[in-house]
Amino acid sequence: MTYKNILNTTLITMTPTQEDGLEPPHIVVLDGGFSTQLSCHVGHVIDGDPLWSARFLHTHPNEVVNTHLDFLRAGAHLIITNTYQASVGGFVEHLDMTPEQSYDLIMRAVDLAKQARTLYLEEYEDYIQNDLIPLVVGAVGPYGAHLHDGSEYDGSYADTTSVQTMREWHRPRIQALVEAGVDLLALETIPCQEEAEMLCDLLREYPNIKAWLSFSCKDNQSIAHGECFQKVAKKCWEANPEQLVAVGVNCCAPSSVSNLLKGINDDRPHAPIPLIVYPSSGEKYNPQIGWIDRDKCEPVEVFIQEWLDLGVRYVGGCCRTYAADVSRIRNQVHCWRDRWRFQHRYQANTSPQN
């Protein structure tokens, strides 16, 4: 079997299907907060930079590779490229690059992730044969991220920016990621309905690629711009079910997740929408002093089994979650699958037919 076929098989296997029988559904473990883990490798302040961690694609490529490796060693089934805040225009403005060089740097991010995957497979070649080959997922952050004003957390730019402007900004970065050979796209931290719908439509220009779509939310009911999360999520899923593998939320407080998701599939019992969740630690960011209130946050892993009970099938972490958190998340996934198996076999053995 060729490496490409192995990857295709991996993607199929990692896509949750109808859950019948006595085997628990497959759960995909994502990585954690890239800039958070990257900070363990570089002696630089990352938060507050207009390019955020994407600057390190240019200045510290080896550390980018090592950050991806951390997550793979921690048990992530996939790694997300360091391109959340990468854009052609951003690199032109802040790295003094040409548009061509900027495009190439986005592609370079995919190469760095692939390098990490290769190193991981070589390092664990005696153990990887019966496991899944990790996927490389291209991070596609929202239009608001490049504005460097926090508007990806309120979606206010949707009131003043045309859908066409957002489309033309997204297209080259998506093109670069696809051209570089990502296995999947992460359309993430999307704060507004218009941008989400546009991305689902833009995805059709790349018919051979699949993606997940995750929203930035302001509370336990609404996405950041104010629209109802469940209504928007369902509408986007129905707009492109052929290419979307999951919808959900990221970079929100873990305590908000369950209320956002409860009941979303009540009207789809036989064809539930696969759900994805990768929240932040719950800490708050103060521009003057940095991240605060960690001591007031419950660890992400304490919520995992509850989310899986609600139908989440892709789970990981976002800002302020480290590789160690990914290991704890994966452990909770294993515990949940063991519990699922025990409960379903017990029910089968005690049913009236038996």
- Mean local confidence (pLDDT), 314-339: 96
**Nearest partner of 175 among 51, 248, 55, 83, judged by Cα:** 83
Could you tell me the sign of the dihedral formed by the alpha carbons of 328, 331, 335, 336, in that order?
A: positive
**Nearest partner of 182 among 80, 29, 103, judged by Cα:** 80
Which pLDDT does position 9 carry in this prediction?
A: 44
* Strand (E) or helix (H) holding 6: helix 3-14
331-335, long-range: CB within 8 Å, 24+ apart, which pairs?
331/301, 332/301, 332/304, 332/305, 333/27, 333/29, 333/304, 333/308, 335/305
| 319 is an annotated ligand-binding site residue | yes
> Which spans in 39-192 are helix H?
56-59, 61-73, 88-95, 99-123, 163-180
Place of tokens 């009207």: 267
pLDDT tens digits along 105-116: 999 999 999 999
Average pLDDT, the chain: 89
- Mean local confidence (pLDDT), 213-239: 97
Which pLDDT does position 46 carry in this prediction?
A: 80
Query: Which residues 6+ apart lie within 8 Å of 347 measured at CB?
Result: none
pTM: 0.91
Place of tokens 């080896």: 62
Checking if the pLDDT of 5 tops 50, the result is no
Checking if the pLDDT of 166 tops 80, the result is yes
Checking if the pLDDT of 6 tops 80, the result is no
Which pLDDT does position 298 carry in this prediction?
A: 80
Checking if the pLDDT of 335 tops 50, the result is yes
Confidence band of 128 (pLDDT split at 50, 70, 90): low
Checking if the pLDDT of 1 tops 90, the result is no
Supply 348's token pair. 């089968």
Question: What residue ranges define each of the domains in the chain, with the CATH number in brackets?
Answer: 27-340 (3.20.20.330)
pLDDT tens digits along 76-89: 999 999 999 999 99
- State the Rg of the chain over Cα: 20
Which pLDDT does position 11 carry in this prediction?
A: 53
**Nearest partner of 342 among 20, 27, 22, judged by Cα:** 22
| 251 is an annotated ligand-binding site residue | yes
Which pLDDT does position 299 carry in this prediction?
A: 86
Checking if the pLDDT of 284 tops 50, the result is yes
Which pLDDT does position 210 carry in this prediction?
A: 98
Which pLDDT does position 181 carry in this prediction?
A: 98
